[in-house]
Each structure stands twice: as C-alpha cells, then as structure tokens.
C-alpha cells in the first residue's frame, strides 16, 4: 500500500530532490509500521521498492538515483553483522550450520537438474550450474542480523551464523562454478573476459504504469 502511495506522490514528472524525500519518508513509515506489527522491516521495505519499480514511470531514474547509496548502506550492515556473530551460541551450532548449508547445496543441485530438463543447453554445464546458484546476497546477511537483534538468544545467533556462512561459502564456490558452467555451455570463451553489454533503459511508453491503469 505504501508503495502505491509513494508512486502517486512521485507524480508524472521526475524531480530528484522531491523523490528523495518521498522515498525516505515512505520507507521510514513502512519500517515503523512493520516494527509496530512485529513484521520484518527489511521485507516491508523490499515490498515497497518492488511496488514502486513496478508501477512508477520513473523506474530507471529512481534506480540511477538510489544505486550510489547501495555500498554506504551495505557496508555498515555487514560490519554490524560481524560484530553480532557468536560462534558459540549453541552446543551443536556447527552441526546445524553444516546440515543446513548441505541441504541448500543439494536443493540447488536439484534445481539445476530441473533447469537441465527444461533447457537442453544447460545439460552441458553439469553440477557446476547448481553450485553456481549457491551464493547469497547481503539481503541474507541483513535478515540474519535482524533475527539476531529481534531474538537475542541462541536461535537468533544461530540464524546469523548460518547466514554468514551461507554468504561466505557462496562467494567462494559460486562465481568460479558459474563461470565453469557458462564455459561448458559455450556461453563464454575460456580465458576471455566477460563483455558487459551497455545498460539499456526500457522505454517508458511501453511500461504499464499506475496512471495508465487509472485512466483506463
């Protein structure tokens, strides 16, 4: 709902300064309401951002405006998560972490098998495709940190350790495995750097916006 409100407040013309105020205000309101209701503030902010990017005609402008703030926000979260880590939170913590991470790897291998059945070209990648899907993002670490803050006991600490192990192990396994899978599938040439395509901005006229829905 707050995402729709933010979309309406942004209007049809993009104004950078006003857009920052609208996004920050609605984000703080969403986080406050979620905290009051006992919900996840991260999930609430994510849902609001997804709604804005779906219905707002300024999706490309908003993305370019917010993108530089990713690192200043992510780095403190990672540092705070490291400070909250408790490697002795539970007696069998590492057994739990190892079991959970192994289950994650098995599920990703199964998902890669399904992809190989649907897309024949993916069969050449082999198990490397599944290992390439293992990495987790900083969002996972943020959720683990939120669990450690909300539940300051063995449960929250265990969730944070599991999130940290998932992120670190994924960074060690994922990129190399994904590159190997792409090489086996023939999408990239071994030894040649990957060429990044120029960023493309989707024409606004081709997007269905909230204003188009209202006019119809």
pTM of the prediction? 0.66
**From the CB of residue 167, how many other CB atoms can be counted at a distance below 10 Å?**
20
Q: Are residues 111 and 179 in the same domain?
A: yes
Q: Are residues 100 and 54 in the same domain?
A: no
Q: Are residues 61 and 118 in the same domain?
A: no
Does residue 77 lie in a domain region? no
Classified as helix, coil or strand, 57 is: coil
Does residue 203 lie in a domain region? no
Give the per-residue pLDDT at 198: 57
DSSP 111-141: HHHHHHHH-GGGGGGTHHHHHHT----HHHH
Give the per-residue pLDDT at 205: 41
Does residue 146 lie in a domain region? yes
Give the per-residue pLDDT at 107: 92
Q: Are residues 27 and 113 in the same domain?
A: no
Domain span including residue 126: 85-190
Does residue 89 lie in a domain region? yes
Q: Are residues 7 and 55 in the same domain?
A: yes
Does residue 210 lie in a domain region? no
Tell me the pLDDT of the chain (216 aa) as tens digits: 767 777 777 777 777 777 788 788 888 888 888 888 877 787 888 888 888 888 878 778 888 888 887 778 788 888 888 888 888 877 888 888 889 889 989 998 898 888 888 888 778 888 888 888 888 888 888 888 888 888 888 888 888 888 888 888 888 888 888 888 888 877 777 666 656 655 544 444 444 444 344 444
Q: Are residues 64 and 146 in the same domain?
A: no
Q: Are residues 137 and 163 in the same domain?
A: yes
CA distance 164 to 170: 10
Does residue 207 lie in a domain region? no
Which of 49, 43, 42 has the alpha carbon at shortest distance from 22? 49
- Number of separate domains in the chain: 2
Does residue 17 lie in a domain region? yes
Of 69, 99, 114, the domain-final residue: 69
CA distances (Å), 199 to each of 54, 60, 64, 143, in order?
Answer: 19, 11, 11, 30
CA distances (Å), 184 to each of 73, 102, 127, 129, 190, in order?
Answer: 37, 24, 11, 10, 9
Contact 201, 137 (CB under 8 A): no
Q: Are residues 117 and 185 in the same domain?
A: yes
Q: Are residues 56 and 115 in the same domain?
A: no
Classified as helix, coil or strand, 199 is: coil
Does residue 202 lie in a domain region? no
Q: Are residues 54 and 29 in the same domain?
A: yes
Name residues whose C-beta falls within 8 Å of residue 57's C-beta, 6 or more positions apart in sequence. 12, 204, 207, 209, 211
Q: Are residues 59 and 95 in the same domain?
A: no
Q: Are residues 98 and 180 in the same domain?
A: yes
């Amino acid at each position: 709902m707050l995402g729709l409100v933010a979309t309406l407040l942004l209007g049809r013309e993009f104004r950078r300064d006003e857009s920052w105020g609208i996004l920050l205000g609605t984000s703080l309101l969403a986080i406050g309401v979620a905290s009051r209701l006992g919900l996840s503030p991260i999930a609430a902010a994510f849902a609001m951002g997804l709604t804005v990017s779906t219905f707002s005609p300024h999706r490309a402008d908003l993305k370019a405006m917010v993108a530089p703030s990713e690192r200043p926000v992510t780095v403190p979260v990672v540092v705070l998560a490291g400070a909250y880590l408790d490697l002795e939170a539970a007696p069998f913590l590492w057994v739990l972490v190892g079991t959970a991470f192994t289950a994650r790897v098995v599920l990703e291998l199964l998902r890669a098998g399904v992809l190989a059945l649907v897309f024949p070209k993916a069969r050449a990648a082999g198990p490397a495709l599944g290992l390439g899907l293992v990495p987790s993002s900083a969002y996972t670490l943020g959720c683990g940190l939120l669990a450690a803050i909300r539940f300051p006991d063995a449960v929250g600490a265990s969730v944070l350790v599991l999130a940290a192990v998932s992120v670190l192990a994924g960074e060690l396994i994922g990129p190399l495995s994904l590159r190997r899978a792409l090489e086996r599938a023939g999408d990239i040439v071994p030894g040649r750097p990957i060429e990044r395509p120029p960023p493309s901005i989707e024409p606004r006229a081709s997007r269905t916006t909230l204003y188009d829905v209202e006019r119809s």
